[in-house]
């Protein structure tokens, strides 16, 4: 296994442009997350530099951009608040030690090859957890958004003091916050392709605060240290060590989940496949160095990664370029950020919280699965009002119990004597003839057995490996159960094929499976006459479509 990431120099222009673009996107987010966490804007910048550089150097996903993210910032905020409350003098240093511990745990997860298991949890749990993180991030920004100090005590304290906060809002800062959101939401798409709306909001909001509200009492970032960071040596007390270890594990696991989900998105866009365990080692090294430098923890960031790929990047050179550009900002241009209003940064962070919410699944979870919907909302509420670890633990436990129950009932109905033990897909001579006749232009996508959440990664992998074809035949003849997560994976495969103009046939779908696909909107893409019960008939019609396309072209 190659120790460093894939750094190539055959696409220098695309990689450099991708790195520059990603740096422009990262700057306002790093400042916003640093302020939101309570560690200061410089901690966000140090985190963006350290994690971005070392994760790009030692990871496995060529185009992945790693930096402080919304979920990691929310957890770090809680860690800083709890440790500084119990130990005001050493609390912040202990919080950075937790970041180091998170990096160490991520390295261990990678060394022991646990990456493949990190994301083996139901989508309803992941969705509820991420949406809960989004809600927390939104609530945490309410006070600075309207020009008030954030009440101590976390989310519950903010919610309880909301009437008082609103009655004492600072009109100037609230106006700047609203202006920031308006720019981000209303900026035309054509302009968004040229410059990130967050950067525009940062610049415009700062200028307006200096020109229009020059006499108003506006809280700003203030002085940011310029130069290299002071090393933060591991600091802990015996009484707090257990809590720090637990927080380190939680932060490390969250970073793994956040990163690997983003890596899957990168794989889908670039048609590559990352190595989960190697990626975790790279992320762990990045977080370990970030903690040593007094930076925030981070993970693979979806927004930066997508922007990087769209700008033309193909190798880790783009991530290294981005980190170096941000380092230059830290070393020489940090003083330019001093007049940035806190309300502007709160508006940027609030928009991130809104984006973290899984709107797509929230809107239709109750249509897809009532049980999945209950689990998702339960995890969301536990995440916001109780504890992140409790939320994930309870969600995974209940989801697994329900899955085991369903599989057990299904298995008891399927007990029978089987004389043919060959598990391979057996095609009849007619079916083999039809596939040969198609000359590779027809793809038979065969699924077998209960499609629970653990199978979704295999579906996604096969989907990414699909070649250019004219017709896709999705064979569900031997699929007795289709879970929510697998349903979404199949939906992605069908929508991707439809977007590419590929003709689609679905074979052997039971009435329940067909209803679930219908609730996901698949029946709008695949007409009723394309749902067939016989594989041979579907292949025959597929070959006809291939010949028809060949004739037309």
Domain limits of the chain? 12-397, 429-552
What CA–CA distance (Å, rounded) separates 341 from 347? 10
Q: What pLDDT was estimated at residue 422?
A: 37
| Tokens standing for residue 172 | 């100037």
Single out the residue of 467, 532, 457, 448 nearest to residue 126, CA to CA. 457
What CA–CA distance (Å, rounded) separates 96 from 285? 14
| Tokens standing for residue 104 | 């160490």
CATH architecture of 429-552: 2-Layer Sandwich (3.30)
Sheet strands side by side (includes 442-448): 442-448, 471-478, 503-507, 531-532
What CA–CA distance (Å, rounded) separates 503 from 530? 9
Q: What dihedral angle (degrees, nearest 10) is formed by the CA atoms of 189, 194, 198, 203?
A: -120
> Residues 6 or more apart from 458 whose CB is under 8 A from it?
none
> Residues 6 or more apart from 5 whose CB is under 8 A from it?
56, 57, 58, 59, 60, 61, 62, 282, 315, 316, 319
For 332, counting Cβ atoms within 10 Å of its Cβ (0-12 exposed, 13-18 middle, 19+ buried), the class is exposed
Q: What pLDDT was estimated at residue 15?
A: 92
In this structure, the strands spanning 299-300 and 66-67 are: antiparallel
Longest distance between any two alpha carbons in the chain, whole Å: 87
Q: What pLDDT was estimated at residue 425?
A: 56
Tokens 């055959």 map to which residue? 10
CB 317 within 8 A of CB 9: yes
* Ramachandran angles phi, psi of 508, nearest 5°: 75, 20
Below-70 pLDDT ranges, the chain: 1-3, 5-6, 119, 407-426, 453-454, 465, 553
SS3 content of the chain, % helix, strand, coil (to 5): 70, 5, 25
CB 304 within 8 A of CB 22: yes
In this structure, the strands spanning 503-507 and 471-478 are: parallel
Predicted TM-score (pTM) of this structure: 0.78
Single out the residue of 14, 11, 67, 13 nearest to residue 309, CA to CA. 14
């Amino acid at each position: 296994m190659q120790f460093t990431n894939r750094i190539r120099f055959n696409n220098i222009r695309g990689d450099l442009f991708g790195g520059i673009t990603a740096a422009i996107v990262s700057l306002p987010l790093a400042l916003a997350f640093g302020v939101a966490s309570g560690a200061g804007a410089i901690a966000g910048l140090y985190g963006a530099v350290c994690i971005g550089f070392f994760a790009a150097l030692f990871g496995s996903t060529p185009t992945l951009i790693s930096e402080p993210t919304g979920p990691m910032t929310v957890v770090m905020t809680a860690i800083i608040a709890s440790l500084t409350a119990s130990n005001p003098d050493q609390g912040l240093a202990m919080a950075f030690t937790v970041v180091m511990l998170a990096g160490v745990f991520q390295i261990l997860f990678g060394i022991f090859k646990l990456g493949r298991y990190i994301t083996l949890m139901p989508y309803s749990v992941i969705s509820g957890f991420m949406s809960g993180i989004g809600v927390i991030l939104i609530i945490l920004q309410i006070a600075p958004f309207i020009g008030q100090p954030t009440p101590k005590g976390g989310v519950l304290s903010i919610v309880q003091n909301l009437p008082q906060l609103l009655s004492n809002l600072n009109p100037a800062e609230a106006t700047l916050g609203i202006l920031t959101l308006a720019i981000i939401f209303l900026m035309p798409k054509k302009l968004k392709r040229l410059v990130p709306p967050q950067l525009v909001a940062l610049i415009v909001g700062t200028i307006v605060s200096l020109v229009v509200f020059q006499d108003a009492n506006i809280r700003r970032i203030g002085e940011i240290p310029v130069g290299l960071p002071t090393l933060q040596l591991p600091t802990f007390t015996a009484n707090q060590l257990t809590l720090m270890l637990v927080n380190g594990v939680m932060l490390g696991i969250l970073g793994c989940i956040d990163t690997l989900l983003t890596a899957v998105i990168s794989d889908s866009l670039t048609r590559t496949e990352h190595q989960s365990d190697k990626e975790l080692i790279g992320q762990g090294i990045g977080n370990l160095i970030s903690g040593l430098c007094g930076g925030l923890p981070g993970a693979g960031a979806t927004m930066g990664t997508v922007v990087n790929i769209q700008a033309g990047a193909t190798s880790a050179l783009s991530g290294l370029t981005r980190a170096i550009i941000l380092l230059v900002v830290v070393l020489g241009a940090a003083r330019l950020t001093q007049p940035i209003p806190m309300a502007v940064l709160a508006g940027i962070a609030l928009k991130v919280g809104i984006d973290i919410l899984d709107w797509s699944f929230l809107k239709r979870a109750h249509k897809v699965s009532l049980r999945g919907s209950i689990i998702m909302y339960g995890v969301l509420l536990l995440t916001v009002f109780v504890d992140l670890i409790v939320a994930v633990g309870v969600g995974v436990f209940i989801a697994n119990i329900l899955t085991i129950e369903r599989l057990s009932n299904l298995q008891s109905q399927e007990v029978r004597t089987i004389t043919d033990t060959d598990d391979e897909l057996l095609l009849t001579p007619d079916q083999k003839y039809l596939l040969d006749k198609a000359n590779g232009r027809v793809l038979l996508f065969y699924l077998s057995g209960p499609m629970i959440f653990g199978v979704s990664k295999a579906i996604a992998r096969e989907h990414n490996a699909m070649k250019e074809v004219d017709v896709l035949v999705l064979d569900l003849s031997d699929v007795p159960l289709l879970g929510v997560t697998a349903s979404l994976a199949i939906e992605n495969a069908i929508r991707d094929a439809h977007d590419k103009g590929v003709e689609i046939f679905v074979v052997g779908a039971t009435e329940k499976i067909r209803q679930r696909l219908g609730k996901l909107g698949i029946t709008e893409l695949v007409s009723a006459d394309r749902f067939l019960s016989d594989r041979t008939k579907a292949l025959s019609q597929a070959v006809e479509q291939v010949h028809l396309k060949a004739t037309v072209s």
